[in-house]
Every structure is written in C-alpha cells, then in structure tokens.
C-alpha cells in the first residue's frame, strides 16, 4: 500500500546502472527524468570540481516542487586529467592505454533536492587496472561495453577482469554510492527502510 505522505522520488538520470543500483536497496523511483545538461569540462577544471559542478547543474535543471530529486555524475581521473565518455573506439583505446597498469580515481558526486534544499556528497574511489595487452584491449573494445562509460570501461562489465584492486566504494565506481545516497535521501525525508510503498 502506498503511503500518501511519502514524497515522490524522481531520478534525474538516464543511466540504467543507477536504476539497478537503487533497486539493490529496494528503491524504485516514481519517475526517471534525465536533465539536459552540457557536460563539457572547463579548461583547467579539476576532476572533483567537475563532477560536483555537473551534479549540481543536473539538480538545478529539474524543478519538481516538493518531490525529491536525485542526480549524480561520475568521472574517471588520471591525475588531474578528466576522462569522460569516449567519443569513439579510438578514444576508448587511448583511455585504456593511459589507465593500463596504474591507479586512477573514480569520482561520483550526488545531489538530492527537495523544495529549495539541496544535499550533496562526493565519493572518490581508487582503482587499479592491470597492465593490458593490445589483444585484451582489442577484445574489450570489440564488446562495445566502453560506450557511454566514463574512462572507457565499466567495472561491472567485462572490464571487471582488468581490475585487481579498488579502495573505496564499488557502487560509486558503477555510478551511485549507495551508502551516501541512502544518507542523503533519508535527510530529504525519503523513508528508505520500513516503508510500505
């Protein structure tokens, strides 16, 4: 039975991975409304500042009254360099070559809005890829799994075979840090646990 006092939850993202992650903690948004936001990085912008700015821009682009809105943005950072979603297979290969055999950071910023109040958090996870051979890169790129993925790979897909070590939140690397998301949704008045929705 739906509780009439429970606010509606709108997911401001077109990512199927974020929907799947929310489902892991029993949350099904009432609506999915991806905002139209320019995700171009500014010259000299640091990766953490970039994801925080984009998550904020996404939340600002959606006006939902008293409904609760959840938005997020994820990027891969090789040092100070932002590795967004590759434009094509050649760029995906360049990203994988850069990340091969080294640690990098995956940063996800989340923003939750209800009315005029906004709660934000960002989570940084260190990830190391093994040294990749040309054949491994070719085989991975042929899967097409790199498309639409920051840094040109997805840890929950075939590229999992390339990741021997992470330090931090696995769900944040996938695209939504669940512990922090639950905290922010609770702060906004969304009853995550024990609600008969």
Domains along the chain? 9-187 (3.90.950.10)
Spatial separation of the C-alpha atoms in residues 72 and 113, rounded to whole Å: 12
- Which residues are identified as catalytic? 73
**pLDDT tens per residue across span 156-180:** 999 999 999 999 999 999 999 999 9
Confidence (pLDDT) at 194: 53
In tens, the pLDDT along 93-116 reads: 999 999 999 999 999 999 999 999
Beta strands in the chain (DSSP E): 9-11, 31-32, 68-78, 81-83, 103-114, 117-128, 165-167
Asked if pLDDT for residue 191 goes beyond 90, the answer is no
Give pTM, 2 decimals.
Answer: 0.92
68-78 and 103-114 strand pairing: antiparallel
């Amino acid at each position: 039975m739906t509780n009439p006092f429970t606010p509606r939850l709108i997911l401001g993202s077109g990512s199927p991975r974020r929907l799947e992650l929310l489902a892991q903690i029993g949350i099904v948004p009432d609506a999915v409304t991806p905002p139209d936001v320019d995700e171009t990085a500014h010259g000299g912008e640091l990766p953490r500042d970039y994801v925080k700015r984009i998550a904020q821009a996404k939340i600002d682009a959606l006006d939902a009254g008293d409904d609760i809105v959840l938005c997020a943005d994820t990027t891969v950072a090789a040092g100070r360099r932002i590795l967004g979603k590759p434009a094509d297979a050649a760029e995906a290969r360049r990203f994988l070559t850069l990340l091969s055999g080294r640690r990098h950071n995956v940063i996800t910023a989340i923003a939750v809005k209800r009315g005029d109040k906004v709660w934000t958090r960002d989570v940084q996870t260190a990830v190391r890829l093994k040294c990749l051979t040309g054949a491994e890169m070719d085989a991975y790129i042929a899967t097409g799994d790199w498309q639409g993925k920051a840094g040109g790979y997805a840890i929950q897909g075939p590229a999992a075979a390339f990741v021997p070590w992470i330090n931090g939140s696995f769900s944040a690397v996938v695209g939504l840090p669940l512990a922090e998301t639950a905290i922010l949704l609770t702060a906004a008045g969304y009853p995550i646990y024990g609600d008969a929705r």
